[in-house]
Amino acid sequence: AGAIEVRNVGQIFKTTTQDVVALEDVSLDVKPGRFVVLVGPSGCGKSTLLMMMAGLRQQTSGTITISGAPIPEPDPNRVGVVFQEASLFPWLTAEENVEFPLALRGVTKSDRRARAQDALKLVGLDGFGKRHPHELSGGMKQRVSIARGLVQDPPVLLMDEPFAALDEQTRMTMGDELLRIWTATGKTVVFVTHSLTEAVYLADEVIVMSPRPGRIVDHLQVSLPRPRT
């Protein structure tokens, strides 16, 4: 579980004025447990590719499989997703936000609470479950959002510029935290950023994309010695 296979994928957005080729003939393989970063300038199709891997958008052509099966719709058991904005419900506590996907699936209250607490512990927020989002810092809100993405223990975690809105110090702390979580859980991670520095800091593999049309232009194995906590 956790392998991602993208084969000859294209995405065309039809607008009233023109057809935008967001992605053209994109193929890639991610092996289970790898930390892969998609990097490239704005508009090269990084978010579009991630959304398709998440089942949030269907490709115009080609195929995508996660753990060997297509992903016709979002499935938090198979794929966790974290966006740039933590997008937590402000009226729910941290643990209620993390529990939310489980509540949707009818998991019992006590089971939900236990799993949310495990997930919050994993992201370093033990003891913060009763706080509301406005009582948490930006980095802590992103931790809650990561906990929500991981609460159903999916083999794959997809992240779209998750730290871009944070200040540099927090971003670096969160980068190290993410590497710790990744090491502890063995998830396959696909992480989108426009920062090459962040890509090289975090990745096992860097996939470089270029725009108009969005394409993969390089796929690098990173072998620099770097912190692994």
Using Cβ positions, the residue closest to ligand ADP within the complex turns out to be 175
**CB-based contacts of 70, cutoff 8 Å, min separation 6:** 63, 64
Q: Considering beta carbons, is residue 144 or 202 the nearer one to ligand ADP?
A: 202
Contact positions with ligand ADP (CB under 6 A) in 30-69: 40, 42-48
In this structure, are residues 159 and 198 in contact, taking their beta carbons and an 8 Å threshold?
no
**CB distance 98 to 119 below 8 Å:** yes
Task: Give the span between the Cα atoms of 69 and 13, in whole angstroms.
Answer: 25
Nearer to ligand ADP, 85 or 118 (CB): 85
| Torsion region of 145: left, alpha or beta (phi above 0 gives left; psi -120 to 50 gives alpha) | alpha
The strand ranges marked E within the chain are 4-14, 19-30, 35-39, 61-66, 69-70, 79-82, 156-160, 188-193, 205-210, 215-221
What residues are paired with 26 via a beta bridge? 9
Q: Which positions from 72 through 101 interact with ligand ADP, judged by CB under 6 A?
A: none
Nearer to ligand ADP, 110 or 169 (CB): 169
Q: Which is nearer to ligand ADP, 118 or 204 (CB)?
A: 204
| 165-224 positions binding ligand ADP, by CB under 6 A | 168, 171-172, 175, 195, 197-198, 201-202, 214
Listed residue (208, 224, 213, 220) closest to 38, CA to CA: 208
Q: Name the minimum Å distance from CB 141 to ligand ADP.
A: 16
Applying CB under 6 A, what is the total number of residues that bind ligand ADP? Answer: 23
Query: Considering only CA atoms, which of 47, 56, 2, 55 is closest in space to residue 23?
Result: 47
Q: Which is nearer to ligand ADP, 43 or 124 (CB)?
A: 43
Task: Rule CB under 6 A: say whether 15 interacts with ligand ADP.
Answer: yes
Interface with ligand ADP, residue 155, by CB under 6 A: no
Which residues in this chain contact ligand ADP in the complex, by CB under 6 A?
13, 15, 20, 22, 40, 42-48, 163, 168, 171-172, 175, 195, 197-198, 201-202, 214
